[in-house]
Structure 1
């Protein structure tokens, strides 16, 4: 049993296995994520922050790209995780967390 020859007949082939160590986000296949990166690169930077913190970046993506608010927030979260944008919470007058201010780290 220990010295058994391994042939091609004994090996189980997986036809749906991915060879890459990571999976690409689904949005890349529909070019949605690429459109998000493009739209964020076009947003004005006021006082170092995207849109100056006056308008939510997610709601701006909803208007510009036609996404749902959930999709826009998911794209922003993925950009944050990849290190392309950095968020800073902006507290309200009562001390509660308001909107996040975003800095873009790419051109």
Structure 2
């Protein structure tokens, strides 16, 4: 049975939306994204200073956001600088807009 391009696109879009939704499913991750939007970029240590969480907890949330593609990290030895992945952020916004419309 052949799948149409429309069916494939639908499946890819719903999977991407679910991936983004899962990453946004924790209040701390939403707060991290809001902070990154206002700062453009920051280091893990900066986030530890902002949020009352252990560095390991902040790192775990960053890992989840990065795995979902919502943020990106750049190694600035010995630290990692994080910022919003603008391309995927636009995709997420579009997918959520389509979902809610």
With normalisation by structure 1, the TM-score equals: 0.49
Unaligned stretches of 5+ in structure 2?
Answer: 1-17, 90-101
User: Looking at CA atoms only, which structure, 1 or 2, has the larger radius of gyration?
Assistant: 1
Tell me how far apart the structure 2 counterparts of residues 62 and 88 of structure 1 sit (CA, whole Å): 18
Structure 1 residue 90: deviation in Å? 2.8
CA deviation string 1:59-105 (max 9, x = no partner):
111111211111111111111111112222234xxxxxx22233422
In structure 2, the residue matched to 1:36 is: 32
Which structure has the higher relative contact order (CA within 8 Å, separation 6+)?
A: 2
Higher helix share: 2
Unaligned stretches of 5+ in structure 1?
Answer: 1-20, 52-56, 92-97
When residues 102 and 62 of structure 1 are mapped into structure 2, their CA distance, relative to the original with a 3 A threshold, is closer
Tell me the number of residue pairs that the alignment of Structure 1 and Structure 2 aligns.
Answer: 69
Q: CA RMSD, aligned part only?
A: 2.9
With normalisation by structure 2, the TM-score equals: 0.52
